[in-house]
Structure 1
């Protein structure tokens, strides 16, 4: 009998342990993961939202001109579905909405807003919400659809991204990423999209693509040099085409010898020698801080999911890696959005504005529930230093760049970034205009293009700026 009692106690203990483990597991999801399940990475799998969407009409998404981008329609079975009126042109921004495959883009990050579900709506209120068949809230974006369509067309033959924004406010005017997908046929196309991994069509390259920056990063190093002139041997050097730092040989493109070179000439000629030498003298710790102020390596707060750029400077970095990182190689990786923000900070007297693409939220009655106001994200550097770099970037474009415009002064910088473990390159161009009073800032990256930044990305930056100015954006 005693042996049987012991067995019963063991079995009861096991059941009790399993019960406690289940309680702890459920508590973990209710408390720790509740927000993620509702709004984070797990939100797209939350079936509760799909029950709501058949009863609650998801709100409409508009562009800055009031054009309808996405709306809810009803099929022959009286089921709601999302209609994306611009198809693949806006898919990097709006994302998709599928019962089978979840949501992405604004359809995901603003799901509760579009469904008019409060952050902590209790179950009883959810039932009322469903029973009353209420309409959701509407979004108005900062984008211009004519510019968005134009930038997507500019990318048609390239993998890559274009970001165009207002440097003074942080408003995103266009955000192109290619290759992409048609959100209206996402279910039918899903297998093809997933099986074609090389194209990464679901990736918003603008906010989540990470690229070696190459020479566009030199504007960041230039900031550190100008802020720390007391730490460099001289602001002018004799550029002989190559230099050895920390046992590593740094060379200019094609070994170009630039002779007597100051900062302006170093940017115009894109001297690797100059930036590696003076960057090494300034030091990794200072340049790490400067990069952080440009939000390289920091999480960018934005309406869409973003990947953090990687700050190539780190504690204990050696001289050779400081040298390569200073001219845009090394371990630094950046997103196009981040580089558009870098350009914007230089164009805006050294002040980086918080980027945003959702301008306002209105309820079904048309009342404004939320209106975005421009916010300062980072005071990167002084107006004097920002303006000096801006003037030097005017010289870069004036010196024969493919990004120049006849009637408007453009400031910019190209980049031809070597890709690790590949013989190919990424082509970059960042630019702003009009240089005296910038209203548009642009970042262009052409992925694995194997071409020079000025020859391929430069014309795309030029045409993006031309179109934006012709549309009167930023005025």
Structure 2
């Protein structure tokens, strides 16, 4: 009985174990079945896409960047293909040792190492960075033969930007550079479509037109779908969409004129802006000194960057766009226009100029070369009378001056198609309250108004603003937003889209008042401070010289005590338009610390007008004298502008007809441009 009882117990335990084992097996099969349903049904689409992604790779194809051409079709920015030696830091165990070994195969200079180090600081560790660019075919072959020695190092074919004229027009053209981390972060805020178009793109516009027209120049990124093996090797191409090249920018700039003006400045600092007053098209946009944008294309090395960034002459500063200066006596025609427009002074009113003006216990003086005597408005402009405009500023007051001159573009951005423009300073009582923090500094004192009349005091403007104002004055009130780009060409559709200069509402200036000012400015070239420079010109023009203080003088201090320091000397300015009867060009220029406007600035303006209106290019002798500030009317035999070779090119390469040639033809035939 005991044996039978034990047997029943053993069978019972066996059945329980069997049931438990069966349940466990069923449970496991249930898990497998659930996992199978999850993978094959619920996750089918997702896993299918991932499997396909492992098999198919989408490779972006970066488009060719658009060209930049001047008004005559001369290429100012182009592309070329070259090989680069690149390192992915995350894939290299010992970076310094690898570079040392590479240097035994391909020449790697110290500047290449310094540039690579700088790129590493601006990029992520897993990005491929160039250690050498523009490899020769021999260097490519030499590395390829020993590629197995260098994991994480590869050779890639890349497009590079080229600026064939180097420093000429560098501030307006700008340059491209590698996208840094700050720019990548900013790109995250772009629309998805725009962001997708930049996949694979490593270089973007950093300055000038390259930056402002980045989306026009970039083009549309293409792609290539490639089937890959398990090892990641390409097996075959599945789909392909070619990239669309960027659009071509056609500028209003005449690069030959641009190069001439930069040459006329020589080693001096300054800026010039020339505008067609009938449309707002910018003909020349000069900032001196310049820089070579080619230095930035494949990453500027530390030494070159230090030379540019720490240079006392600030070659990276766009003086035409961001440099602000007191306008000096070039401001006087605008003061006179404000007086006429506001009814504050009749042009026939005669003021006795005794060379001094007293106000509030202070005596405001005149240059030693001025002559005393009675002067009406025309003679005050022609002779550049300080006393006349001291008294006028006192009569008008700072707020009326501001309200009359702000519509000309003073103290506000012109909205040119470049980024980084500054506003300058056209003072008013409200302006001073915003400008300064301390209450005692915010109050406007009547004595501060006096010096405004001669373009000093708080007045500070860019050459772009002054040139725009001269353009408006010369046409009797027509206003345009200045533009550097005339047309944008779609290179695929072969269509050109006009980038029209936006016309602003004309100023309500009375023609009789405008004639008074224009006639007075014409008189400056006949009997005033620029008469010598414009002697014998084959056209009429109007102008005004200016000599502006670079620093303020202390009470009792004389200019002669500081002019020994070159950077403290007065600035030389000139504003002008031509032909006087129907202007087709207006300009403003400054030569920093160069003294009288008639000796340094006006001669440059004369040669710009000779080029645009007569098709004449100055002789080498004349250029040398102008660079030294020792020229008057042109000397030597002028050359035909279209026959002068472009910078760095032989005479045969300068075939495209220039704007100067067509302008000269128009003058000869009596046609208007």
TM-score tier (shorter): 0.7 to 0.9
1:404 to 529, 534, 546: 534
Match of 2:596? 452
Does the 8 A contact of 2:63 with 2:220 survive in 1?
A: no
Structure 2 distance, partners of 1:350, 1:393, is 16
Higher Rg of the two aligned structures: 2
1:90 aligns with 2:169: yes
Structure 2 distance, partners of 1:83, 1:468, is 28
Per the alignment, in what secondary structure is the counterpart of residue 326 of structure 2? coil
Match of 1:67? 74
**Aligned CA distance change for structure 1 residues 403 and 373 (closer, same or farther; 3 Å):** farther
Does the 8 A contact of 1:162 with 1:176 survive in 2?
A: yes
1:212 to 303, 326, 341: 326
Does the 8 A contact of 1:229 with 1:235 survive in 2?
A: no
Does the 8 A contact of 2:410 with 2:469 survive in 1?
A: no
**Aligned CA distance change for structure 1 residues 223 and 275 (closer, same or farther; 3 Å):** same
Structure 2 distance, partners of 1:366, 1:440, is 34
Does the 8 A contact of 1:266 with 1:274 survive in 2?
A: yes
Range moving further from structure 2, 462-471 or 364-373: 364-373
1:193 aligns with 2:308: yes
Match of 1:159? 269
How is 1:310-329 mapped onto 2 (pairs within 5 angstroms)? 310-315=425-430, 317-329=444-456
**Normalization by structure 1: what TM-score?**
0.81
Does the 8 A contact of 1:419 with 1:426 survive in 2?
A: yes
Match of 2:611? 467
Match of 1:57? 64
2:494 to 367, 371, 383: 367
Aligned-residue CA RMSD in angstroms? Answer: 2.3
1:384 aligns with 2:512: yes
**Aligned CA distance change for structure 1 residues 313 and 201 (closer, same or farther; 3 Å):** same
Structure 2 distance, partners of 1:464, 1:321, is 36
Does the 8 A contact of 1:343 with 1:430 survive in 2?
A: yes
Tell me the CA shift for residue 436 of structure 1: 0.9
Structure 1 distance, partners of 2:65, 2:458, is 43
**Aligned CA distance change for structure 1 residues 419 and 113 (closer, same or farther; 3 Å):** same
Q: Which runs of 5+ in 1 are unaligned?
A: 1-50, 119-129
Range moving further from structure 2, 260-269 or 277-286: 277-286
**Normalization by structure 2: what TM-score?**
0.58
Per the alignment, in what secondary structure is the counterpart of residue 254 of structure 1? coil
Structure 2 distance, partners of 1:372, 1:403, is 36
**Aligned CA distance change for structure 1 residues 314 and 420 (closer, same or farther; 3 Å):** farther
1:227 to 341, 346, 350: 341
Range moving further from structure 2, 59-68 or 95-104: 95-104
Tell me the CA shift for residue 192 of structure 1: 1.2
Match of 1:106? 209
Tell me the CA shift for residue 214 of structure 1: 0.5
**Aligned CA distance change for structure 1 residues 307 and 159 (closer, same or farther; 3 Å):** same
Match of 2:582? 437
1:414 to 531, 536, 545: 545
Match of 2:9? none
**Aligned CA distance change for structure 1 residues 364 and 328 (closer, same or farther; 3 Å):** same
Per the alignment, in what secondary structure is the counterpart of residue 78 of structure 1? strand
1:299 to 413, 432, 442: 413
Which deviations, in whole Å up to 9, do the C-alpha atoms of 1:374-422 show, x marking residues without a partner? 4323534333322221110011111151441522112100000002257
**Aligned CA distance change for structure 1 residues 273 and 117 (closer, same or farther; 3 Å):** farther
Which deviations, in whole Å up to 9, do the C-alpha atoms of 1:137-170 show, x marking residues without a partner? 1111001121111111111231001111111111
| Number of corresponding residues | 411
